[in-house]
Structure 1
Amino acid sequence: MSQKKIFLAFTVVTMVTLLLHSGGHWSRTMQDLHAICPALSSNRPAGLKMKHTNVAFLKTHKTASTTMQNLLFRFAERNNLTVALPGRACSHQFCYPRLFSAHFVHPHTLPPNIISSHMRFRKAELHRLMPNDTIYITILREPAAMFESLFSYYNQHCESFKAANGSLESFLEQPWHYYRPQDKRSMYARNTVTFDLGGDKDHASTDAAYAQFLVDEVERVFSLVMIAEHFDESLVLLRHLLSWDLDDIAYVKLNMRTASSKHQLTPGLSAKIRTWNWLDARLYDHFNSSLWHRLSVLGPACVAREVRLLRVAQERLLQSCFGGRSPLFRPAAQIEYKELRPWQPSAKVEIVGYDLPTNLSRGFSSSAYEPCLKLIMPEVQYTKVLLRSQSIRYRQSHQP
């Protein structure tokens, strides 16, 4: 039985026990639940420490990291914080795949509170750029699912994938026939998370000590490693780590592919992917287990309550922006407002986005319009909008 199933079973038993103890009254159960979980509430009780606002998020590839970045961008704007953004020579990423340098940061976005655009992690440079009390977080995804997404997304950009004529099966049958470590975009074709973390994606698979070194280094630097498959549970831990409110972690999913752009993985293919991406698999297995250990310490009943409260907060957000219904995915070509059209990597894969909420065409004030628009804005456009607004603020503050 998986860790999550055990965790959920424990949650059910706990809730049933509470119901029986309270005589079956749900309102009493929630009071009892709060009593055994005093650190948790829908918002921060008076007297608790202030929200932590200095955050470095390592945005890994194809791991729901765009959704997380959007959450951080919106938090920064609501709290008048500065987000480190790439200089114009780097586009919307920090000159990836080069190792990160503080010189890649646009001067109008200094000194920063938050950084969350794609980079290849270099600890010393981040420590030089960010405040001393910065909390470092990142996110991982199950390696087989992540690699399938990478192969689909970059099949026309990564030379190793193009050499296999877009066939995932062919590539995995004999990866060394197609893979060239020296190719410009080879980081998408093997151990991509390891590469993003600044590690050696091509390290010998017989060196278990190197894998352990990577795990230990990530443990030492990052206060939280989120897991994409358990995004809401990860946000529960993030909220308490940063002392944020529930509204601060409400989100909608971004940068999603259509079902026709996805490749169904067999158990055999998944096993081959994990073998090929052995370092990423080692990292994922360790930090997935670590996540569930931390959740078990917090308590199944507490986590279940927090996830429920998060979803209530998201429903409230959807009500205000979309009339209570989840926004409908649309192909980019059908999205009328071009600022909401997601980037399309190739004709072989379709990334869907959202159109303007219906409510916003009915005379909403700008104060109501902007938050809803930003909630569904793709990464590239949001980065440009944020850079523009921060540049204006920078110039105003530096006027003679």
Structure 2
Amino acid sequence: MQNILFRFAERHNLTVALPKNGDSQFAYPNFFNVKSVQLETTPPNIITNHMRFNKEELDKLMPPDTVYITTMRETSAMFESLFVYCYVSSASIRRVPNESIEAFLDDPFKYYRPLEAHSMYVRNCVTYDLGGNKDSTEVDYAQQLAAKVEKTFSLVMISDYFDESLILLRHLLNWDLEDIVYFKANMRSEKAKKTITPELSDKIRAWNYIDSYLFDHFNASLWRQLKAIGLDCVAREVQLLRQAQEKLSMTCFGEKTSRLNSAAKIKNRALKPWQPGNVEIVGYELSPDLSAENQTLCTKLTMPELQYTDALRQVQIQRYKKAKERQTNN
């Protein structure tokens, strides 16, 4: 989603608020604050790098007509991904023998420390990122948070139905089909994934009760919105989106499905995804005979978050400096 927004900003010469000090996240895991924004990337039209949501601070930075969107993922899949991906960051995970999700869920408080840094990766991370209390287990709290999110965000996308969510986004923002075309990013290799049984899924959902409530609530909301457009209409648009992606894939990789490689095999440093510890994140190797125009297009489509954030920051810093120079000369 970030890649889609970065490319939209570049096509339309918009300003994207970016984290300062070379970071890719805004003061995370602390709440977002305007002091964490690179001065040269203001005043912004878009903000999309990772943060712990803080509407009051965002209101100081963003235009008053800003449209807020967010994404959620099915709770069991989200938990499994975080448990594997965030091993290096979270002591709560590192304490668990053999990185066993089963062992953790058999006795969570043996390993989990609520006040410890990065503890949100193993409990209600979505809730935490939305600014909520990750350790609540109350139904009333879950309902109140869902109502608050519904009031604040114009669209809650569901990554499990990402293409359908993009159709809603296109309608919400009156975008063209080309604005939502994408290649998948930040994916683990199959060997880095753990199997989640139905029994384990139930335990994950119970431990992450608030996240589970939010996902169920907004997944149902997503499908109500899709039905309001018309499911046949949505299906046609999804088909057109996937056809456009196949066409781009032919351009960038010489085949209809994108070519995924381990980071070790990717020669272009601009396309090498970050590797968190021993978890293999796969990326892309482009076709070697691209035209200059297609080279730029395909590179942006496949560039990982860290490299794209840095590249966009440098472009905007230079633009900001030139604008300041023009003001001084005038």
The TM-score with structure 2 as length reference comes to: 0.96
Match of 1:357 among 281, 287, 299: 287
| Aligned: 1:110 with 2:110 | no
Contact 2:263–2:272 (Cα < 8 Å) also in 1: yes
Match of 1:314 among 245, 252, 255: 245
Q: Distance in 2 between matches of 1:319 and 1:76?
A: 25
Aligned to 1:340: 271
Aligned to 1:282: 213
Structure 1: which 5+ residue stretches go unaligned? 1-67
Q: Distance in 2 between matches of 1:88 and 1:389?
A: 15
* Deviations 1:331-374, CA, capped at 9 Å, x for gaps: 11110011111111111x110011233333xxx22x33212101
Q: Distance in 2 between matches of 1:322 and 1:245?
A: 24
Contact 2:253–2:286 (Cα < 8 Å) also in 1: no
Match of 1:149 among 78, 81, 87: 81
| Aligned: 1:172 with 2:102 | no
Aligned-partner SS, 2:123: coil
Amino acid at match of 2:25: Q
Aligned residues: 325
Amino acid at match of 2:284: Y
* Poorly superposed stretches of 4+, deviation over 3 Å: none
Aligned-partner SS, 1:327: coil
1:324, CA displacement in angstroms? 4.2
Amino acid at match of 2:116: D
- Give RMSD over aligned pairs: 1.1
Aligned to 1:76: 9
Trace 1:36-185 onto structure 2 (pairs within 5 A): 68-88=1-21, 91-165=23-97, 166-185=99-118
| Aligned: 1:193 with 2:157 | no
Aligned-partner SS, 2:69: strand
Match of 1:257 among 188, 192, 195: 188
Contact 2:262–2:280 (Cα < 8 Å) also in 1: yes
Q: Distance in 1 between matches of 2:63 and 2:251?
A: 35
Amino acid at match of 2:275: Q
Of the two, which has the highest radius of gyration? 1
Amino acid at match of 1:268: E
Match of 1:225 among 156, 165, 181: 156
Match of 1:386 among 297, 309, 312: 312
* Deviations 1:32-59, CA, capped at 9 Å, x for gaps: xxxxxxxxxxxxxxxxxxxxxxxxxxxx
Aligned-partner SS, 1:398: helix
Amino acid at match of 1:79: H
Structure 2: which 5+ residue stretches go unaligned? none
Percent identical among aligned pairs is 54
Aligned to 1:9: none
Amino acid at match of 2:131: G
Aligned to 2:174: 243
Q: Distance in 2 between matches of 1:97 and 1:297?
A: 37
Aligned to 1:371: 297
Aligned-partner SS, 1:353: strand
